[in-house]
Amino acid sequence: MITVDCSHSLAIKDKLLVHVADKLQALPILKSEKFILTPVDDSKTIDKIDVLDAISEFLESIDMKENYQAIPKGDEIKIEPLDGKDMKEKLEKISRTDTNPFFECTHCGFMTRYEDELRTHRLIHYI
C-alpha cells in the first residue's frame, strides 16, 4: 500500500489520482488530502517505483514537471509544489478543462472527451 500525500498539491490531486490508479490498475482510497493505492489483486503489491513513474508521467502530460516534485518517504509519497515557471497559468488551464467534461465515470469521477476511453477506463472497476 502506497499513500500519496497531496496536501500541498490539491489543485492536481483528482487528476493525478485517476492517472496513477489507472496506470497501476490500483484501487484508490480517498482520505481527505491523501489517497492510498491498494492493489486490485490481493496477491500483488504496489511498487513505489511504479507509482513515482506514473506521477512523473502525469506531471509531464500536464507540462508541470518543473512545478511539482514527488518526495518518497517510507510508504508515503509527498507531492510538493516547486513554484516553477508559469505555474498559475498552467493550473488555470487544468481547472478550465475540469469545467468542461464530456464523459464522466460514475465510479470515480474520471473524465474524458472520448466515449471509447471511458469504456476502457470503466473496465478497471470490474476486474
Minimum separation from the CB atom of position 125 to Zn ion (A) = 6
Q: Which is nearer to Zn ion, 29 or 82 (CB)?
A: 29
Minimum separation from the CB atom of position 107 to Zn ion (A) = 4
Q: Which backbone phi and psi does 109 adopt, to 5 degrees? A: 85, 5
Strands 2-5 and 111-112: unpaired
Q: Which residues are paired to 70 by β-bridges?
A: 79
Applying CB under 5 A, which residues contact Zn ion? 105, 107-108, 110
Residue 76: how many CA atoms within 13 Å on its side-chain side?
A: 10
Q: Which is nearer to Zn ion, 15 or 68 (CB)?
A: 15
Q: Which is nearer to Zn ion, 58 or 110 (CB)?
A: 110
